[in-house]
Amino acid sequence: MFRAFFLKHKLVIVYGCALALLLLVATAAVAQTKARFTAKPVWADEFNYKGMPDTSHWSYDTGGHGWGNNELQYYRDSGNAWVNGSELVITAQPDSYKGMSYTSARLVSKGRGDFLYGRFEARAKLPAGLGTWPAIWMLPTDWRYGNWPRSGEIDIMEHVGYDPEKVHISVHTQAYNHIAGTQKTAFRQVPGAMDGYHVYRVDWTPELIEGYIDNQLLFSFRNEHKSPDEWPFDQRFHWLLNVAVGGNWGGKNGVNPQAFPASLLIDYVRVYGWEK
């Protein structure tokens, strides 16, 4: 009888300790999701001017070599991106240019806005049409761990026209990427994504990357503390804003030439600093 009493209470103690440990882990996880960021942006473009995008914030990636995805556009540094007084307009359009059938623009903040941790937010209206592939995303500035995917990629918003209103948030690393079929990703139907503006956001800290659409949590990727193959996100990254045409994903179901010109409209991009 004494032995049974002892074993019973020993089990209670063990279960109690396990429960306490689970509560501690859960509390730490909740605390992490409530990371603090500056009240005001530390870097932003509100696009409240007219003309070419602000050169103190943006430059361009240019070229027409498929960009690793068999894309059909040639990215130019003029003619496809402008600010109309209230928003940035990036337009992919039919255009025979240097051997390609479409032109578009790919804006980058590299050297003008490079960040280690923070809250990254853009308010945007997406283009519609079969073959469109808009993206708001980030790449490493210094490529500390080598070429893609070793140094990582953060996709704040991706959308392909053949799957309307399904918006994706993802990260890619050496261990987790779409080539290997191991990428970390999440998606959500966003009604009216091509008819109105929605807010796309990533919160990035040393422990966690979280993705939100209209302030609703969609995606979480936690630092496993193994190696840079899993978490290369301890280096500076910069913005990329673009509209691709076709490609392995965007053109999976073909491209409708009648869908172009097609424009990604961005009301603002903002970066809030991470407060340790």
Confidence of residue 60 (pLDDT cuts 50, 70, 90): very high
Q: Has residue 10 got a pLDDT over 80?
A: no
pLDDT digits (tens, 9 = 90+) for 139-149: 999 999 999 99
Q: Looking at 153, 210, 224, 275, which residue is catalytic?
A: 153
Q: Looking at 71, 87, 121, 158, which residue is catalytic?
A: 158
pLDDT digits (tens, 9 = 90+) for 107-154: 999 999 999 999 999 999 999 999 999 999 999 999 999 999 999 999
Q: What does the pLDDT average to over 241-251?
A: 98
* Catalytic residue check, 158: yes
| CA-to-CA separations, 51 to 12, 17, 48, 86, 88, in angstroms, rounded | 70, 63, 10, 11, 10
Q: Has residue 12 got a pLDDT over 80?
A: no
* Pairing relationship of beta strands 237-245 and 132-140 according to DSSP bridges: antiparallel
* Domain at 39-275, CATH from 3.40.50.1370, 3.40.640.10, 2.60.120.200, 2.60.40.10: 2.60.120.200
* Catalytic residue check, 153: yes
pLDDT at 189: 98
State the DSSP code for 245.
Answer: E
- The more confident residue out of 111 and 19 is 111
Q: Please tell me whether the overall predicted TM-score, pTM, comes out greater than 0.85 for this model.
A: yes
